[in-house]
Amino acid sequence: MEVQCFRSIVSFKMFAVLLALLLSCFSFTPAEAYDALDPNGNITIKWDITTWNPDGYIAVVTIFNFQQYRHIQAPGWTLGWTWAKKEVIWGMMGGQTTEQGDCSRFKGAIPHCCKKDPTVVDLLPGTPYNLQIANCCKGGVITSWVQDPMNSAGSFQLTVGSAGTTNKTVWVPKNFTLKAPGPGYTCGPAKIVKPTRFITADGRRVTQAMMTWNVTCTYSQFLAQKTPTCCVSLSSFYNNTIVPCPTCTCGCPSNLKQLGACIDPDLPHLASVVSDGVKSNSLAPLVQCTNHMCPIRVHWHVKLNYKEYWRVKVTITNFNYRMNYTQWNLVVKHPNFDNLTQIFSFNYKPLTPYQNINDTAMLWGIKFYNDLLMQAGHAGNVQSELLFRKDKSTFSFEKGWAFPRRIYFNGDNCVMPPPDEYPYLPNAGSRNNASIFMLIITVVIGSLMKTVDHFSFL
């Protein structure tokens, strides 16, 4: 019944407005980050004190990325905290603080960092072995839990002085901050937990940390995002209209073109203009001039209709000259994913936070083949085809059913075209009218059933 109601919604614009109204009734603050597609996703920072020293301790700090699809890409994580007392960092391995701070009170040996609020970054690959520890030196890049669990953690080691030297006198640091690389994460307080047990590689001996504390950080798109970074365009075999990304999704071409803030791909000296722009070493995208100005566009093409199956082609295009997206991923929501039969040239994993609903897929590239989405240009795209088995009770080419409900690229929401512009079947006949009352009822039921997804706000 509910599905039937859903399918009768025509004015999706109305739907969005109503949903927004509905959501505004739920009071939640941005700090209460919650991702409906990855409800348990978090980054956990674990401090293991491995040795007590005469004036402090040695700790191994490990950052675990327990998020299904959100990873930490170049230029990597930055971890900060505030010392509770007058602690200093004598030395570090596998990481470094960005500033030493004022160490003038020390004579003789000078600490690595005397700041009250140190900021730590990872070392780069290729660091000399005597500065490395296990799991370090990846330039701060940490993969998502699903894509590459082996590389979903990173570590560094600290020698801390002027600190407590027993588990009774030591003070846990406060006010942890994590940038990965931009804003978006909020970290809770450090909690003292059961000391970690380490098992040797041969499994024949178990050692134990002197003391362990955990800090949990969660992501919120509200904190992270100022403007969108990704948009969706649509097309189908049954209608030759290509519905482009909404104009000005990520910026307006008329303004940016004048400022020279985007790159015209038809320029005669494109390569040199691009390399000049890339050299400026900024984090901001340097994009091709398009109507949407987004660094990333995802195109969904409904390609073929068979008796029992239907086929979709997905293309991700990079318009950013300043970024090769390593280990990119896509999260797509469509009701037919529970009958996905075949997928070509991408990896696939269903994301099913609510056991009974299997409508969300995580897609990512195949290692050494298309896991690198190259910078803007002729090689700046990756594509795949998906084959779905039709479930006769729900399948339809009408009313945009064949198009995705939601898409995320690297965890960021991709802006969809307004649903009343979706390509539709020729002679689809009456786009039937649902009363406003029915719409509201449907929206309310639908939202309650599907759990409120905060992202629909954006």
Ligand X SMILES: *[C@@H]1O[C@H](CO)[C@@H](O)[C@H](O)[C@H]1NC(C)=O
Residues within the interface to ligand X (CB under 6 A): 40, 42, 44, 46, 64, 66, 80, 82, 167, 175, 177, 192-193, 211, 214, 216, 239, 241, 243, 278, 322-324, 338-340, 350, 352, 358, 374-375, 389, 391, 421-424, 426, 430, 433
Q: How far is the CB of 350 from ligand X (least distance, A)?
A: 4
Contact indicator for 78, 283 with CB cutoff of 8 Å: no
Dist CA 38 CA 26 (whole Å): 20
Backbone angles phi, psi at 46, to 5 degrees: -115, 125
Q: How far is CA 354 from CA 3, 149, 358, 360, in A?
A: 18, 22, 8, 10
Q: Is 276 exposed, middle or buried (0-12, 13-18, 19+ CB in 10 A)?
A: exposed
Tokens of 391: 């479930």
- How many Å apart are CA 300 and CA 122, to the nearest integer? 37
With contact defined as beta carbons under 8 Å apart, do 160 and 97 qualify? Answer: no
CA separation for the pair 358, 265 (Å, rounded): 41
Q: How far apart are CA 147 and CA 394, in angstroms?
A: 31
Between the CA of residue 82 and those of 36, 64, 157, 190, what are the distances in Å? 32, 20, 17, 12
Q: How many CB atoms lie within 10 A of CB 157?
A: 20
- In terms of C-beta density within 10 A (0-12 exposed, 13-18 middle, 19 or more buried), how is residue 25 classed? exposed
Contacts of 24 (CB under 8 A, 6+ apart): none
SS3 annotation, 222-238: HHHCCCCCEEEEEEECC
On whether the CB atoms of residues 140 and 179 are closer than 8 A, the answer is no
Supply the DSSP symbol for 94. S
Residue 425's SS3 state is coil
CA dihedral 70, 71, 72, 73 (to 10 degrees): -110
Count of C-beta atoms within a 10 Å radius of residue 261: 16
